[in-house]
Copies of this chain bind each other. A is one copy, B any other.
Amino acid sequence: MDDLETRELRYFVAVAEELHFGRAAQRLGMAQPPLSRAIQQLERRLGVGLLERDRRGVALTAAGEVLLREGRATLDAAAAAARRARRAGGADGPGERLVLAAKAAGSHELLQKLLDAHAAEPGAAEVEVLLCGLCEQEAMLRDGRADVALMYTPFNSLVGFDSEELATEGQVAILPAAHPLAARTTLSLADISDVPGLPLARWPRRDGGYPPGPGPEIRDQTQLAQLVALGRTVAVFPEYGRSWLWAEHAAVPLTDAPPVVTHIAWPPHSRSRALAGLVRTATRL
């Protein structure tokens, strides 16, 4: 059967995400009629209805859901192909360059040790560090902006990547130093989940949404630090968070929070010497 063109997938993904032909067309920088036509053609070629148009917006069919998921993966793969090929050709003079994606709020100590150890290796590839927000490493690996990433389970998902475990650590409660609970030597999740006047901070889920609850929605570490210092919230955070604590903060170990495991992860089928070297260095730390 004839293949899907990435153009068609781009169009479909835009419509499926917006659930609105007009807005999708605008986002794609084109007029609405050709977009409608393109989607109709796609449906005819696949022999399957993708969208349920009912005069008041648009809904995905089961087949549409599948194509949205697989289409996104395909577009990521295409973007990755372009980026990686471009990079492989651009800098063939000084040897390969690696792009390492890491959470900006991640463990500075580990990152520093990894970069130092790698730089000390003879013939090590140059490593560019790409710091990202809370959950973007996965997307960066998938679409080729990064070659390798530091990921933290259970926050990041390792599904679809190769990885090696680097370290395991507990989590702490980060709370205002002045709060009575800050004096405790250990806490449990139950202790901090229903404190009057000190709601539990809410981290974004993988889909970008937030779990329900009274606490503030956290977008980055700075914001969290400020909120805790102001006495407005308490948060669960990995041990390495101790390194950025303010005087107004206190960290108390949590006995029953799930442990956080740091992994180094990379796209499957990557077989470059530079990447292998960095991974080897990392596992030896």
**Contact surface of A with B, Cβ cutoff 8 Å:** 1, 3-7, 9-10, 46-50, 61-67, 69-71, 73-75, 77-82, 84-86, 88-90, 92, 144, 159-160, 162, 268-269
Contact = CB atoms under 8 A, between A and B. Distances in A.
Given A4-B6, A6-B3, A160-B160, A88 B63 contact: yes
Given A10-B3, A159-B268, A162-B159, A89 B70 contact: no
A162 B163 CA distance: 13
A74 B69 contact: no
A72 to B, nearest CB: 9
Contacts of A88: 48, 62-63, 65-67
- DSSP majority for the A interface? helix
Contact of A89 (B62, B77, B159, B160): B62
B85 A50 contact: yes
5 contacts: A6-B6, A48-B85, A74-B81, A159-B269, A160-B269
Contacts of A47: 86, 89-90
Contacts of A82: 1, 3-4, 46
Contacts of A159: 162, 268-269
Nearest to A3: B6
Given A48-B89, A73-B77, A160-B160, A84 B62 contact: no
A89 B61 CA distance: 8
A89 B74 contact: no
Nearest to A80: B70
Given A48-B89, A63-B86, A73-B77, 18 more contacts: A3-B6, A3-B7, A3-B10, A5-B5, A6-B78, A50-B85, A63-B85, A63-B88, A63-B89, A66-B84, A66-B88, A67-B84, A70-B77, A70-B80, A71-B81, A73-B269, A74-B74, A74-B78
Contacts of A73: 77, 81, 269
Contacts of A160: 160, 162, 268-269
A7 B78 CA distance: 12
Contact of A90 (B5, B48, B70, B268): B48
